[in-house]
Structure 1
């Protein structure tokens, strides 16, 4: 049949196998017609000499032989047989090389988009998979150029895969792979045979309305119904289920509520008679009160426990608060809880406890009071039941600005009519200090010398005096003292003793290092660590220092090393309490 041309192509129309076959058939038919016409020497078009400009030529006149030979040898006007091989299948717009091979090879690093737009014409190509904007496998194909902004690329891979890519209004689509019918059938077969993602009819029959542990019937109804004449707990135990839901009115014996309830139960074991032995039940009545009960196969049911709703719990809390306020207003009046002011306030800490009123009283202590309160400013709370049951608290003002860094803390003391006031005992706001050294410190042979701790790392109450290398106790009480020194030393006899001094007098030896090497040497150097700790009872204003006795052989001088606070340190922590008397 005659070739039928399709002249209404659009840029994104798909090209299928029938289109390509139609083109090939049209080209084949055209070649056959051309060959037949070329071999027809019978003037098929009835051309006359007048039509070709030979109307005035004598029919019998011939050119001279030399003119004919010259014409016959003219290679500009004649073509060779080799050229006819080329031209019989020629292309007005080249899409292959003259020998029919692929015209453009687009390899690694080359961009298919740039090549296609840059050619501005139709061409065939080969693209490797590592080219830019290439499909994920090597392909051969043709690019049909419509314009600089529209075109269609079609390509085939060695595995039979067919790829397509379109340029529409300057925008490229992705490479789209079209699968063969054979490939689709194979892939569908693999998917169909995958039992991991498909279920059988028996699976469906098992799952339709099913539960691995049956806690309701198949229509979602209640599994266990507890009748009015039942024993609630016995009915649950004899349900013969490890899990279950239930419905009950408030009438059965041992019901959790007088209202109807719904809930669930769970037993971890069932005995040979089908009765639950260990487990629990949870029930909720229609007013949202929740109950639980636990059964132990050995000891039986523990009893119903009721859980309040948030609203009920809040209502009870509100009622308890109102009841408490009413009780306080009824039983505690101003005479029993009083702020003492004016002449009623006792400003002198030395005043006998007998002079204080009964009950709870508050007093302001100010104006730089020096009569025996822990600080010069604060608040006193008195809790006096009688003259033998009287506790007094002193609260610091909490003012930590400027020089008032020690104004935070709480102290307590007691009054006993037979022995008077106990000493003040601090119960909060304790002091702590961490001090180090700076530079190397020469150790004088044969002397007891104070260690120059002069670098504050932390000092909560500004209690350390770096000019005198001492800690001044801000309060009376017990203090924990830790000290450590790292000393430059050589391999000779050495004796180092570290002591805590209290108010300039030795209080405790806390570390002792002595070494007498078998092979003394002034050139063998090794450092020595001396570390120790002890508790020190002290009064406010007492001071604590660290001393070191240094003894050694030879003339090589010894030094405290220039190390940071984890080698050379002086730590003091106020432990509270009071400075109890020594015996």
Structure 2
């Protein structure tokens, strides 16, 4: 707080403690401000050089006179005018390091091209053999800089090798090694010392008289033979055979070339004619080969080799002839397919009445003479009267979504016993049905199980309204059934039975339960499952019944899934059930 003076004192005004303290504080503040002012060296009053008579003095630090005299006598710190002028025209970029060593080390992974272009100066360098774009060995060298797009590099290796690379118009050349006198002499000496590449005069003389088994004449022309015996031409070579009409043992009387290759006692001959007319085709060359039998003074017969053009012509001719013969003698109808007027439609006709070979005809108009179905296709495979097999293919259209007119059967004809029964070999029927509702079981009676929910039915042979399977084809069938019963812990007896055509046919499972502590309040589920095989005829029908015995509350077929309640039928084979 600033000092506040009191200037209105009166002679009789009293002086109290506050007045004295105010005086003491004012004295103290004055001393403090004076000390701060004395120590302030930053020219607090903004005094100028002119105000103190120093207007002509420069604003730089002035050295003492003794210091100036000592500096003036130090000749190492002074240069002459000539020395300043010399440095102005000097080398401002270093060529080497300060100690005279190579300036740049282009080591592993460093690219010589990038270093040279980026320096913009001449420099000395060292390269490692693993640098980029460096010589393939360690070198020391100099790069002469012209511009960023022109320059020359010269590198020296310890083994005396000299390498050069150029930059011209921004494009680098490869490193080129210059041979030294020493390296050139070493290569010449090494070449001169190779005895396997030099020949003597004796070698040359031998070669001049070589080719004892001449392929051609010395001039390169073929060896000429006129009217010779082919059997005596055994020396390896190429021969021009003229006037072969007078030659002996030639394959054809035609001019041509003969090639002979003789390896020991196995002379081989190959003769190619100039041209001839073969099968009315002019200018066709022919080729023949033969060899001499080892250890014998005889030749094998001449074998003519077929050219691709001639082979194709013969193949085309043979194919055309075969087509003409087939078209003239066979048709599909004559071979296998018999018209309706020639077909044997009565299945009871003996096999001896059928034609030989493979024949086909149709069965139609709901034929009932003994074929497996009323519609289909017959195929007969008759080799003779003792080997005869007949196939029946049920391939009629489905009727009302049912497949009872499909499948394949086979039978055989025996001369002693006649036709065998039909055996089915494909197109087997299968079905699986379950129940979706809970069914009460009347005690003391056989109850038909109401299988009313279709899972699969290949021939649409199951009627869910009557809960029965109608057999689509004669044959053997596998039948399986399962019923899961909601039961209680009292006496009960369950018997699962297959009914055939409305009558009990085969009992397939039984469950009887008589607990020691009976109780109608305790639930006790029971599964009754069984299976059997049946020989059935087309049109038979199957149902599943269960006899139920109990003496208290009603039992029920549960509404569990097809894993517990099911009726399955699988046609196993087309064996005639009457056998």
Q: Which structure has the bigger radius of gyration? A: 2
TM-score category by the smaller chain?
Answer: 0.3 to 0.5
TM-score normalized by the length of structure 2: 0.46
